[in-house]
Structure 1
Amino acid sequence: MRLITVRMFLTLDGVVQGLGRPDEDTRGGFRHGGWGPQYNDEVMGRELAKGMAKPGDMLFGRRTWQDFTTAWGNATDDNPFTTHMNAATKYVVSRTPENAHAWQNSILLRGDAVETVAELKAQTGNDLSINVSASLVRSLHVAGLIDHYTLLIHPLTLGGGARLFEGPAPLTEFELTGSVTTSKGVIIAHYARLT
């Protein structure tokens, strides 16, 4: 059975929307896009690189996959994140037909997210990671399919925007398995599911 690890960048008030750039995700009139890059530093880069140290496959919701395809799929720089992202097998969870060939090594998982991911998780293979696909994370969390969380908690509040958990989440306990604070005040906390 594969494990599923989630990596989420969020603010102190739980906002996960529009981390990278102003036009990334303006749904609901969100005007605070691009809040995250100012907090990048060597410590964060080193911690994120640890996730690339072992083989793994990736899970994406449709919207995040489309955004990442634009940002990473055509990049040819020497950035190790680019190399990792392009080489990994990428599973795209979507009910609508997509051009999975738009980004190399992408495979479309059509149908219900919980059912298709539960089937994939039950198979043998590389562990799976999810980066910033909040609605996919919410669905899989409710179904008890998330094994680990790495939360990058940024020292700011935005007062609005999509949050990691909107509405009730089931009672689930996690154990803190490690943490580090970056030079810019981001707390990177690693949690493993207990129940």
Structure 2
Amino acid sequence: MRKVIICTFLTLDGVMQAPGGPDEDTRSGFEHGGWQKPVSDDEVGAAIAGWYEDSDAMLLGRRTYEIFASYWPTADPGNPFTDRMNGMRKYVASRTLTSVDWQNSALLEGDVVDAVRALKASDGGDLNVVGSGDLAQTLMRHDLVDEYRLTVHPVIIGTGKRLFADGAIPTGLEPVSVSTTKGGTVVGVYRPNGKPGYGSY
């Protein structure tokens, strides 16, 4: 059984929107695009590279697919991640796209939940959900997420799209590994382990 792994960069207040650049995603008047670069470091890069060691495909929503497809095919070939991103299989969830041109990309057919269940049951490596907030929330609602790999950076944005938005399903998490980089970013890997517990003091 293949694992579905959500791989996401977050601010300390949980915002995932537009970490990569000012014009990456300006929906709802978002003005903080590119927030990740000033608070990232080499240890974050090494951790992210490790996220892909056992994965051979990505699950992408339409918006993230379009951002990646406009960048990676012509990205610096000297960047060791360029070949990895271009070479991996990409499965794209979209209600509006009729074709995908980035190499090794395919549109998911039919209901996205059924399609991801079928992918999980197929042969192959793990499936990384990168960015793609709406897709990630759909998968969380249908109990299809096996693991979260998150970098939580030392910056507060205050507005923007959050991975765990209002209406997120209450879930307990088992920490697999958690570390802090020299720049203060928390790199955490967590697995869902049922409903959260409750108590009192």
For Structure 1 versus Structure 2, the TM-score category normalised by the shorter chain is over 0.9
Alpha-carbon offset, residue 76 of structure 1: 4.5
Distance, in Å, in 2 between the alignment partners of 1:34 and 1:161 is 12
1:44-193 to structure 2, matched below 5 A, reads 44-100=44-100, 102-193=101-192
Alpha-carbon offset, residue 145 of structure 1: 0.3
Q: Which piece of structure 1 moves more, 143-152 or 90-99?
A: 90-99
TM-score (norm 1): 0.94
Matched to 1:47, the amino acid is: A
Contact 2:40 2:153 in 1 (8 A): no
1:122-161 CA-to-partner distances (Å, cap 9, x unmatched) read 2222210111111110000010000000111011111111
SS at 2:115's partner residue?
helix
Matched to 1:170, the amino acid is: I
Gaps of 5+ in 2: 195-201
| Number of residue equivalences | 194
Q: What is the identity percentage for the equivalent residue pairs of Structure 1 and Structure 2? A: 43
Alpha-carbon offset, residue 171 of structure 1: 2.4
Please tell me the root mean square deviation across aligned C-alpha atoms, in Å: 1.3
Q: Which piece of structure 1 moves more, 114-123 or 57-66?
A: 114-123
Alpha-carbon offset, residue 55 of structure 1: 4.4
Contact 1:7 1:150 in 2 (8 A): yes
Distance, in Å, in 1 between the alignment partners of 2:162 and 2:72 is 24
Contact 2:39 2:155 in 1 (8 A): no
Gaps of 5+ in 1: none
Distance, in Å, in 2 between the alignment partners of 1:55 and 1:12 is 27
Give runs of ≥4 in structure 1 deviating > 3 Å.
none
SS at 1:167's partner residue?
coil
Contact 2:5 2:147 in 1 (8 A): yes
1:12-66 CA-to-partner distances (Å, cap 9, x unmatched) read 1111111111111000011111101112211111111212333421110011001
